[in-house]
Amino acid sequence: MSVQWNLEQMRLFVNVAEQRSFSAVARGQRKAQSAVSSGIAMLEADLGVSLFERSSGRQPRLTEAGAVLLEEAREVLRQCERLNGRALSLMRGEEACLRLAQDEAMLYQPVLDSLDALAGQFPNLEVQLSSAAQGDVARKLVERKADLGMLFYHDQIPEALERRVVGSVEMVTVCGRHHPLAAQNRVDCQGLAQYRQLLMSTQTSVYPGSEAASPQVWRADSFYVLAEWLIRGLGWAWLPRHVVQYPAYQNLMVELDSEWTPPALVVELVWRRDEPLGPAARFLAERFAECLRAID
């Protein structure tokens, strides 16, 4: 069966089904009722099924086939709206898709708030967000698997990438609530050195807070892995404050009054130098920076 129906007939079908009146649809579109009835009849002929039960003096009711096809018709119209929206965005020079890569320990509230604003400003934009361990965000950008990266500063970054500082994250000294250090009012470096230290491991750079302060060290490439070790009493660590405050860890860690804590983690936006950011990426970058400043 060849497809002959058109979008106008599909709109008539949906409108009549929703308003349950041929005459109301005709008035709303300033058409003769016969034109609406004819359009529906031609659609039924093309589809090979009856869409409405027509009884004299009664509102049109969907047939069993009509009820099945109604949502399909709505989806066809939604898809047309998406197509038109994407085309309009491309005509304006906007990205069709924005691929984001973030450090898995990135502050979740500023990310969510900035994405919320992005959705309002660019409703037709497709967004793909991936989270990765430290170092993998830059790799995704180099391999052109991401357009914009959100990561914590480290000293070595591929030459092909541009970087922009947008904020910082406070680091704190913590241990699990049942760790021996949790009972101490203040901890000096000598006291910390008596217990296992849990550290971020890096292969390509010096991560802030990666300095060993204890002769016994365990390393992982994720702040959340360190947090899981901490709540099991396996040692103490320097963690970003927002990781310690993550809802799943509430009341499971103790912040220590420590003699020394590493400097704050610097938050950066990173992108490829040979691929300038489009309007949606630039908007997200500005909103993310604003959201970070709001929590300082």
Taking only the tens of pLDDT, the chain with its 296 residues reads 556 888 888 889 999 988 888 888 888 888 888 888 888 898 888 888 999 887 766 788 899 998 999 999 988 888 887 777 667 656 656 788 999 999 888 988 899 999 999 999 999 889 999 998 767 888 999 999 999 999 988 777 787 888 899 998 889 999 999 999 999 989 998 999 999 999 987 655 555 566 788 899 999 888 899 999 999 999 999 999 999 988 889 899 999 998 888 888 899 999 988 777 889 999 999 999 999 888 76
What is the reported pLDDT for 206?
Answer: 55
The answer regarding whether domain 171-263 maps to CATH 3.40.190.290 reads yes
β-strand pairing of 253-255 with 126-132: unpaired
Place of tokens 């709206």: 81
Please tell me the pTM assigned to this model: 0.63
Query: In CATH terms, are 7-91 and 171-263 the same topology?
Result: no
Three state DSSP letters for 200-233: ECCCCCCCCCCCCCCCCEEEECCHHHHHHHHHCC
Question: Domain residues of the chain, as ranges?
Answer: 7-91, 97-168+266-295, 171-263
Question: According to the model, what pLDDT value does residue 196 have?
Answer: 95
May I ask the CATH class of domain 7-91? mainly alpha
| Per-residue pLDDT at 143 | 92
pLDDT at 91: 65
What's the fold here for domain 97-168+266-295?
Answer: D-Maltodextrin-Binding Protein; domain 2 (3.40.190)
Q: What is the pLDDT at residue 129?
A: 96
> If you write DSSP's letter for every residue of the chain in order, what string do you get?
------HHHHHHHHHHHHHT-HHHHHHHTT--HHHHHHHHHHHHHHHTS--EE--TTS--EE-HHHHHHHHHHHHHHHHHHHHHHHHHHHHTT--SEEEEEEETTS-HHHHHHHHHHHHHH-TT-EEEEEEE-TTHHHHHHHTTS-SEEEEE--S---TTEEEEEEEEE-EEEEEETTSGGGG-S-B-HHHHTTS-EEEE--SSS--TT----SSSEEEES-HHHHHHHHHTTS-EEEEEHHHHT-GGGTTTEEE--BS--PPPEEEEEEEETTS---HHHHHHHHHHHHHHHHH-
